[in-house]
Structure 1
Amino acid sequence: MVDSMRILVPRDLLEATIDLLRKDMFALHELGRKQHLEILFQLYILSGFYPSDPPLQGWEVATADIEPIASAEYADIWKGMFLGRQKVALKRIIRRRDDDLKGAVQMSSLPAGYADKWKGMFLGRQKGTITGSLKRDDDLKDAVQRVNIGRHLWNGLRHPNILPTIGLVTDGIDIGPCLISPWMDCGDLLEYLHHHADVPCLPLIGQIADGLEYLHTYEPPIVHGGLKGDTIFISSTGNAFIGDFRLLQTFSDIEQSRGSMSSSWRTPGNPRWMAPELLLDDTAESRSLSSDVFAFGRVIHECFTRRDPWAGFSSARIIFVVSRGELPPRPLSEDVISRGLDDNMWRLMEHCWNLNPSERPTIQHIARHLRPAIQSPRRKFQYFYYASEYLCALFDAEVMNSILSETQHH
């Protein structure tokens, strides 16, 4: 019935009805609101979208616990209910210091500004300033503004591997302003893999690539800016969803604001997943499609090893070795090899981590190579990097003909 109603009722009419009902509910007493909650929830199901404005209110979202159930790099996370019917995650943006960045080895300290900085060498040759995490109240305010921009942008995205956003709640909730998204029963990527040791890596990697390809081929292209295992969530059915829209921005917006945005937004996140060009404050490099690809390579590393990249290294040490051009050592344990980390997959990871951003493959190129092995389990994953798009097209045609031939014979 729901599917047929979606066909019969125009989306714009449903959106207008939801907006009117929410405005009426703002003025109603609590008892009057409860009578309308079921209607509002069913309208969300029919329309397939969530409200963007005005922000959600406390009567629409409630926390299930007094204390957060988890803490991430920039947020504390609560479990809650949306309209009393749908499990959701509430993320409260916070400011957190990264104490690992205080004592960078073999680097001389510079006078403190609004971020921790060290003087170092890029690839052992180029002098630069390496920047730590955001520290100042102005940056926290900037963070909230960026979250709001990302939220509006994310609201328009529709893809099977992109986590939907429900909205931002600002008033009527004790824990303060929070971002709301659907609850993922299996947690983030590493949490899921730790509890499901036999899950094959390749399908998950393919789903993450598909989601990132959707962002990068959106019009205009979208840079995620914070891709890593704990920003990828797994549903109860084992499907991967890219989430965390805190740093989301269109590529055109990044180009227009280059040089004007704060350092904490040019160089966000954790150095375990950051491209080397983002670690040098003096270069003023912004997050980019190619830095997303670099992070994707690190995510592949997480899938096979079940550990963070550079496990056992402090943030300061990671900054030092990455700025010198070093790569994580190739894992050679039997467990990792049995999960599929062979020469082809390692070659893909190394190309993602190319020190020159312009020489990294596009996520479209990567997804093209992943799909044949995912669609036809009898095929082994193969990776070739062609600088020529013509050769890429020839490769795609050859692979598709091979898959069709296999299908016909079976």
Structure 2
Amino acid sequence: DVYHVEIANVSICVRVLRQTAANDIETIRKDFCRELVVWRQLRHPHVISLYGASLDIFPKRFCFILPWFPFGSILSFLDKNPDHDRFAAIAQIADGLEYLHSIRPPVIHKDIKAANVLVDEEKNCVLSDFGLSYVLDSVASAPEAGGTWPWMPPEFFTCPDPNTRARDGRPRDVYSFGCTIFEIMTGLQPFMIMKATTDGQSAPLPPTSSSWTPQDLHFWDIAKSCVEVDPDQRLTAVDISALIKEVRRSLSPHRSISPSTTNSVVSQFKLQFFCATNDIGFTF
């Protein structure tokens, strides 16, 4: 549940977690406090700030105090502002994700999707709600609890060992980010990506691609590299941010490149970054 509150002419959001069952309160409390410790330390323009939290305002319910975002989610904003630079929005989300994954130990969002990308008063995108799906699902025994299933990678449906799936949550976030690019570009939920990847296949071009510009196709190449079936073949958050910057520079008004050029750029970045040894992160 979300409430819009005005205090001393300042708009804030009170996000109240729904209670699942009376006997789950202590489990949820522990996970709630664990998320708070991490969230309170985060400082980035494209990651939502935490003003505070309470275990007492609502009886037996926990709440976060957050900034208020008058434009709502990115899809709601784009619906009313169709000429907004979608690729600038994607780049901002990528910056936020790179920040989370670059912290030591990495912070895993666990539920990246367009509904969890908010637009502030300056029309900048901010990642929100990281960890909340985990808190809400904390009564589950699996270590990878949390997330929204159409945005979850194929290993969550095909790998029999939950501990293997949860070993490093960063490829999971990257997959969800690729699905979020798909949402922003098409306005559709990523069911066609989920169907293809759970069948072990590459994500097909969306039906709207016939009207796409060269820039659309370049960003789709990035999205496809995020939703690889094999987690080890996905781009990292660092890869994504660097590649987006390169593509946007390449697509300046004075220069254009073909989709085949972008494919080679993707391969170059994957080779460069995947040769490096990555630290193993953890989820909360």
> What's the TM-score, normalizing by structure 2?
0.79
1:346 deviation in Å?
2.4
Name the SS for the 1:237 alignment partner. coil
- The reply to whether residue 78 of structure 1 matches residue 12 of structure 2 is no
- Distance of aligned partners of 1:263 and 1:228 in 2 relative to their CA distance in 1, 3 Å threshold: farther
Deviating more after overlay: 84-93 vs 366-375: 366-375
Q: Say what the alpha-carbon RMSD is for the aligned residues.
A: 3.3
Name the SS for the 2:15 alignment partner. strand
Deviating more after overlay: 147-156 vs 359-368: 147-156
- The reply to whether residue 202 of structure 1 matches residue 80 of structure 2 is no
Match for residue 304 of structure 1? 185
1:347 deviation in Å?
2.2
Find the aligned partners of 2:273 and 2:111 in 1 and give their Cα distance.
32
1:360 deviation in Å?
0.7
Counterpart pick for 2:244 among 362, 370, 384? 370
> Equivalent pairs: percent with the same residue?
25
User: Retained in 1: the 8 A contact 2:113–2:176?
Assistant: yes
Instruction: Tell me the amino acid that sits aligned with residue 348 of structure 1.
Output: I
Instruction: Tell me the amino acid that sits aligned with residue 223 of structure 2.
Output: M
Match for residue 176 of structure 2? 295
Name the SS for the 2:235 alignment partner. coil
Gaps of 5+ in 1: 1-75, 97-135, 250-259, 394-410
Match for residue 151 of structure 2? 273
1:358 deviation in Å?
1.0
- Distance of aligned partners of 1:137 and 1:179 in 2 relative to their CA distance in 1, 3 Å threshold: same
Find the aligned partners of 1:239 and 1:159 in 2 and give their Cα distance.
12
Name the SS for the 2:95 alignment partner. helix
Q: Kindly report which structure 2 residues correspond to 1:90-109, keeping only aligned pairs within 5 A, or say none.
A: 90-94=14-18
Find the aligned partners of 1:298 and 1:84 in 2 and give their Cα distance.
39
User: Retained in 2: the 8 A contact 1:165–1:180?
Assistant: yes
Instruction: Tell me the amino acid that sits aligned with residue 278 of structure 1.
Output: F
1:392 deviation in Å?
9.4
> What's the TM-score, normalizing by structure 1?
0.56
Structure with higher Rg: it is: 1
Find the aligned partners of 1:146 and 1:80 in 2 and give their Cα distance.
26
1:239 deviation in Å?
0.2
Q: Kindly report which structure 2 residues correspond to 1:52-201, keeping only aligned pairs within 5 A, or say none.
A: 76-81=1-6, 83-94=7-18, 141-173=26-58, 176-201=61-86
User: Retained in 2: the 8 A contact 1:227–1:292?
Assistant: yes
Find the aligned partners of 1:237 and 1:188 in 2 and give their Cα distance.
14
Match for residue 355 of structure 1? 229
1:391 deviation in Å?
10
Match for residue 113 of structure 2? 228
Find the aligned partners of 2:188 and 2:142 in 1 and give their Cα distance.
26
- Deviation track 1:133-178 (CA, whole Å, cap 9, x = no partner) reads xxx7666653443232112211111111111011112324579431
Counterpart pick for 1:333 among 178, 191, 208? 208
Number of equivalences:
261
| Greater relative contact order (Cα < 8 A, sep 6+) | 2
Find the aligned partners of 1:171 and 1:137 in 2 and give their Cα distance.
15
1:248 deviation in Å?
8.9
- Distance of aligned partners of 1:359 and 1:296 in 2 relative to their CA distance in 1, 3 Å threshold: same
- Deviation track 1:283-338 (CA, whole Å, cap 9, x = no partner) reads 11216101000001001001101222228x9xxxx6x7653335554224268614
User: Retained in 2: the 8 A contact 1:213–1:367?
Assistant: yes
User: Retained in 2: the 8 A contact 1:93–1:144?
Assistant: no
Instruction: Tell me the amino acid that sits aligned with residue 155 of structure 2.
Output: E
Match for residue 405 of structure 1? none
Instruction: Tell me the amino acid that sits aligned with residue 341 of structure 1.
Output: D
- Distance of aligned partners of 1:283 and 1:153 in 2 relative to their CA distance in 1, 3 Å threshold: same
- Distance of aligned partners of 1:391 and 1:302 in 2 relative to their CA distance in 1, 3 Å threshold: closer
Match for residue 389 of structure 1? 272
Find the aligned partners of 2:211 and 2:169 in 1 and give their Cα distance.
30
Instruction: Tell me the amino acid that sits aligned with residue 355 of structure 1.
Output: V
Name the SS for the 1:158 alignment partner. coil
User: Retained in 2: the 8 A contact 1:201–1:340?
Assistant: no
Q: Kindly report which structure 2 residues correspond to 1:253-268, keeping only aligned pairs within 5 A, or say none.
A: 262-263=140-141, 265-268=143-146
Gaps of 5+ in 2: 277-284
- Distance of aligned partners of 1:335 and 1:141 in 2 relative to their CA distance in 1, 3 Å threshold: farther
Match for residue 345 of structure 1? 219
Find the aligned partners of 1:167 and 1:338 in 2 and give their Cα distance.
43
1:192 deviation in Å?
1.0
- Distance of aligned partners of 1:392 and 1:365 in 2 relative to their CA distance in 1, 3 Å threshold: farther
